[in-house]
Structure 1
Amino acid sequence: MDNDATAVATTALYPSERISRVREAVGKAGLGAVVLTPGFDLRYVTGYPGHLSERLMCLVVPAEGEAFLVAPRLEVPIVRVSPAGSLGVEILGWDETDDPFALVASRLGKVPSVAVADQMWAAMAFRLRDALPGVPLSAAGGVLRTLRMRKSAAEIEALREAGAAIDRVHRLVPQVLKAGRTEAEVGRDLAEAILAEGHVTVDFTIVASGPNGASPHHELSDRVIGRGEPVVVDIGGTMPSGYCSDSTRVYSVGEPPKEFRDYYAVLRAAQKAAVEAVRPGVTPEAVDAAARDVITAAGYGEFFVHRTGHGIGLETHEHPYIVEGNTEPLDAGMAFSIEPGIYPGAHGARIEDIVVCTATGADRMNLTTRDLVVIDG
């Protein structure tokens, strides 16, 4: 992608009007301002993730008045050439002997309350509290959650690009997943493929063979993969856009045990039922129930030990969470995983796709086969 195309893509993903939308959300929440330090919320609003360090760098968006960005003077040049530098926001540089928290407080003036980034270090939150005596602080995640949950067309395309990239890696799995290799060896090959297929970071590689497949968040080990063993492969990374991929498929090196085939068929039906339940107005807990009911009816309910899914975007895990108790209706543009699992002990299985809720149902971002892939190796 050339520089002009990159600039257009960046502008579409991180439009300048987001600051005004945040300001409106701050006012609706009855807050005086939000203070966003480096992290996912800051990147969502400005396109610039920032550099988290002991030096305060933050975007301040008041309910009334103009937003401003506070940065150590040595980092001001980086900020100016980042997407944040093109937003027309005033950048206030501070020197090593300055108190940046006092600078924020003086520019804010009298405000009823302030919400700070969920990822703000506690030490910084305490210093800001001291600079704003009597002003209650809260977490800003709730303010931005509604905005971040509903993806724009550009964000959906970024997730589609991420889904296609991780799909390409899954298509390579049969080439590297062989009996006699260790999980760690396969994981290293997949990590290289994740980067080769367009990601800038490898966020996780789960290669869980045999009984390790019954541990949903298994970490790579030196266990040797045997013939006839199912292997759960859950992989994901972050694309240059900042948006994430996450997909799980199940493979078997040779023919698996019959009991595995039996419950894999149940899992396949449960994942399909949950995807088909997705549409605007349906609650996340109803989607969770669509998968869970199929698994429970088949006698495997006790082995489904986690929620059915999680939101995804700039973070691998974000709102909305597809879980019992979440009654906030789905809306078009919401993106999340559908990943029921069954983990009896001797082995386990999980099928995961990222989907986007549309006006009529679910649009899958992952398109590789959900059938069990038996590898002759």
Structure 2
Amino acid sequence: MSFFFRKKFIVVVLAIFSASLSAQEIVPINSEDVTRMGIVFAPAIPVDTSSGARYAATVVNSPDSAASLTTPWAGTLVSWNLIPGQSATAGTILATFSSPSILPLQNTWIDAVSALKGADFELRKDESLYKDGIISKQRLTKTRLLKQQAAFAERTARSHLAQGGFDSAKLEALRNQGSGLGEFYLVAQEDGVLSQRMYNVGSYVEAGQIIATLNAGTRRWVSTHIPAKAAEALEIGHQLSIANSGETLTLRQKDLVIDSSNQTIKLLAEFNTNTSFTTGQVLSIVLPPVDNGVLIPDRAVVHTGGETIIYVRTAAGIEARTLELQSIGANYLASEGIAVGEEIAIQGTAVLKGIQLGLGGAE
């Protein structure tokens, strides 16, 4: 008799919790329940140079030239800003190109900025409506996802233009005054001396052609081959690191041609300081994510119904929060939707998912 009473009591409790979860996506569990069920939380931390996928890399001597600068798109060389023998600091514009190929990318970015502003407005509006109890959590989650998608589209378009020398100031001038429309710039990625110019003003240059070289530095470099997909977002100047050492490197060269035998791309990166690593030594190089954000451990993520969910401890209980995550090696990056310091479940997520499903979860 006692068994049936307990079973009936559990069903009643589940029914009561069901209404709460459906309305708020909250599992109201107290600290005793958390301890009893073996749920462990940890504060969310930002991604850094130690976060990311790892690949084998070989230490090599500095190449003869610090960088072979190539054209990201086809275009006509409009002007040179330096002559061979002149010094260039990182960020110096070496040459200007006119190119119809960049126009669609520029327009895409301008449209993406407008779309992001609109999505941000809608999210702030819906957050206010949700706070007042006017719209559902589902509606707010959808609006938040649309904002994340718009932000991702803007970052992607911006990263494409960065290949053509468009920094923040040039992007603002492009959007506000149309300055630089139909143009891109060849920019020095590090301090050096311009050693060679391959084309004259007025020449039409195909995409991927070496246009200039800079004299080499003296620090050691590393050479590595990584999957082409993993290299898509990497840009010259991106910061890398050596696993378990704390030493950092700067990406100097990235092949444009994919090795068809294994679908990899060759990268060359320079140590930011003199190193004790010797030529020929094999190291583990870490490719941190391009974007800033919060590190989400793999064990904290639950995949359900095409969504990625983490469980966050709040004052009201444990919230099942849907995020758009970017894979970074064994873990994930969250650009939005979670703040550094918030407590996320890193153990016991299967238990929480089971409770969520039992209480009327989305799956």
TM over 0.5, yes or no?
A: no
Pick the TM interval, shorter chain.
under 0.3
TM-score (norm 2): 0.23
TM-score (norm 1): 0.22
Give the structure with the higher percent strand: 2
The structure showing larger relative contact order (alpha-carbon pairs under 8 Å, at least 6 residues apart) is: 2
Q: Looking at CA atoms only, which structure, 1 or 2, has the larger radius of gyration?
A: 2
